[in-house]
Every structure is written in C-alpha cells, then in structure tokens.
Amino acid sequence: MSAEFVFATAQYDSGDWDSAPLLPANIIDTIARYTEINVAPTGVIAALSDARMLRYPFLYLTGHLPVRFSDAERRNVRQFVERGGLLFIDDHNHDIDGVFHKTATEEIARTVAPLAELPNDHPLYSSFFKFDGPPTTSHELNGWGDNLVHKHLLAVQRRGRIAVLYSSKDYSSEWNYHPDSKRFLSVDNTRFAVNLVVYALTA
C-alpha cells in the first residue's frame, strides 16, 4: 500500500487562507468514496513560508483578500513547482476584477510563469470522471463576484504537467460544507476534486 495522500491547505501571510475550513474534510471524504487511494483522514495546514511545505506535493490555496508572497513563500513555491508539486488555487471571490484574482495571478506570474488557459479536452477532465470542461458551480452566477461562468481554468505547465492550476469558479464555496451534507445532494458536486487528486497522483 502506498504512502498516504495528505490534503494540505496552503497558509500564506497576506490573506484569509483559511476561508474554506470544511473543504479539506469534504474532499478527503470524496476521495475515499470513489477511489482506493490511501488518503489521510484529516488535512494539514502547510505554511508556504516554511520549507516543510515541500512534503505535501498537492497544495490547495484560496482566500478573498490580496495574495502577496513574501520572499520565503515565493522561494518555496518556486521550488515546489520545479520539483513536481501541484498548486491548486481557487478564487473564493470568483471575481476576475477582484483583488484576489489580480494579486494571485500577478504573484504566480512573478514566481513561476504567467497563467494560460487550460484546454477543456485536457486529460485532467477525464482522469477519473468525464467532464467537458471545468464544472460550473452554483456560486458563479449568484450575483456576487464577477457573475460570470468561467469556461476555462488557467494553468502553468511544467514538462507537460500542470504545476499550478487556477480557478475563478469558486470551488471553495462549492465544496466548503460538511461531508455529512452530501446526503442531500442528488449529484455529488465534489467529483471534480477526484479528477484533480487523481491527476496529481498519476501525471
């Protein structure tokens, strides 16, 4: 049996990194429900300024507030990407005119490389469940944020693999609920997270 997959939430200094505290548990539950992947029952918090964040090759980063990396955070993120990690960033404001989007994309461009649209036929969308592109969330058109349905995710690729995946679709709100509430759903809206994790573990 392989080592555990540990869901790690990235902690950064400048903003509300912990704005979706139930998301890790929800995703862990989802992984267990659909796969046999050996997953740790709880998530961890990995400070980007600490080099130990490299021990978690999958990191989830979200927030509402501006994202400004310190020198230590930038250094670690750069090394994380170069060594093969996958950083998943989700704009909890889902607002491409908002400060999170502007600052986060600027920081990624400065630290790694500019983000580019990910084609909707990328293997990410068929790594476990089949999607025609990034699934729409119930928050995209709720009047908040930019009130747009974003047709693409953005990504930075390294050696043909996604190193940074960026979403303006507010999966953080979509998935931020206790896993017990899944029983109310006719279609599990966290299935795309399985694709994410399977892609991260196999690509």
Partner 1 sequence: MSPSPFARLRLARLLLAAGTTVRALAWGVVAALTLLLTAAAVDGIVALALETRHSLRFVSLGAGLATFAALMWRDRRVWTLRRVALWLEERDASLAYTLVTAVETGDDTFVRSAQESAWTRSARTGALSAPIVPLAATVVALIVLLLLPAGAVARIRSPRPGDSIRGIASRDAARSRLSPLVARIEPPAYTHNQSSSIDDPIEIRPIAGSIVTFTGQGSAPGVVAHVNAESLAANTRDDEWSIRLVAGAKPIAVRFTDRSFERLVVINSIPDAPPVVTLRSPARDSVLRTPTGTLALSADASDDFGLTSAMFEYIVSSGEGETFKFRSGVIAGKPITAPRATHASITAALPLDGLKLVPGDIVHIRAVARDGNNVSGPGVGTSETRALRVARTGEYDSLAVEAAAPTEEAKNVVSQRMLIMLAEALERRRPRLARDSVVGESRSIAADQKRLRRTVGDVVFMRLGGTQSAEEHTDEDSPARAKTMQDLLARADSATNRSTDPIDFQGGESPVIAVNKPLLEAYNAMWDAGTQLELGEPGTALPHMRRALAAIEKARQAERLYLRGRAPQVVIDIDKARLKGKDKGSSSTRPGGAFTAGDSAAHALESRFVRAIELTPRNASAAIDSLSLLRIDALADNPSFAATLIPAIDALRRGRGADATAALARARRSLAGPSISRDSIARWGGIP
Partner 2 sequence: MRSLRRRLELGCRIGAFALLGWLIGTSLFPAPARLVETASTTNLGERLSSWTRTPTSVALHATLEAAPSSQAIAWLAALRHAGHSVSWSGSPAPAVVVAEPVVDPNGAVRVNVAAPANSRVTLADVAGAIDSARVGLLGVSFTVPLTVDSLVARVNQQSLAVAKPADVTPRAVFVVGDAGWEAKFVASALEERGWKVVTRFAVAPGVNVRAAEEPPLDTAHVAAIVAIDSSIEALGPVVRRFVEQGGGIVLAGSAAGARVVSPLAAGSVGPRARRNVAANDTIGLGTTGYFPVASVRDDAVALERRASGVAVAARRIGAGRVLQVGYDDSWRWRMAGGPGSEAAHRDWWSRVVSSVAYAPVTANTQSRTFDAPVASLFGKLGPPRPAPVSSRGTVDPRLMLALILLLLLVEWTSRRLRGLR
CA 198/CA 41 separation, integer angstroms: 17
Which residues in the 23-82 window bind partner 1 by CB under 8 A? Answer: 24-25, 28-30, 32-36, 39, 41-42, 64-66, 68, 70-71
- Determine contact, residues 61/17, Cβ cutoff 8 Å: yes
Smallest gap from Cβ 108 to partner 1, in A, equals 14
Q: How far is CA 193 from CA 35, 36, 81, 116, in A?
A: 12, 15, 20, 21
CA 93/CA 144 separation, integer angstroms: 8
Residues within the interface to partner 2 (CB under 8 A): 1-3, 5, 34-38, 51-52, 54-55, 57, 80, 82-85, 127-128, 159, 161, 198, 200-203
Q: Which does 57 bind (CB under 5 to 8 A by kind): partner 1, partner 2, none?
A: partner 2
Does residue number 193 form part of the binding site for partner 1 (CB under 8 A)?
A: no
For residue 78, give both structure tokens.
């750069």
CA 140/CA 179 separation, integer angstroms: 22
Which one-letter amino acid corresponds to residue 50? Answer: D
Provide the CA 49 distance to its chain's centre, in angstroms. 18
- Between β-strands 161-167 and 44-47, what pairing exists: parallel, antiparallel or unpaired? unpaired
Q: Which does 5 bind (CB under 5 to 8 A by kind): partner 1, partner 2, none?
A: partner 2
Which residues contact partner 1 by CB under 8 A? Answer: 13-14, 16, 18-19, 21-22, 24-25, 28-30, 32-36, 39, 41-42, 64-66, 68, 70-71, 92-93, 98-99, 103, 123, 126-130, 138, 141-144, 159-161, 173, 176-179, 181, 183-186, 188-189, 191, 194, 198, 202-203
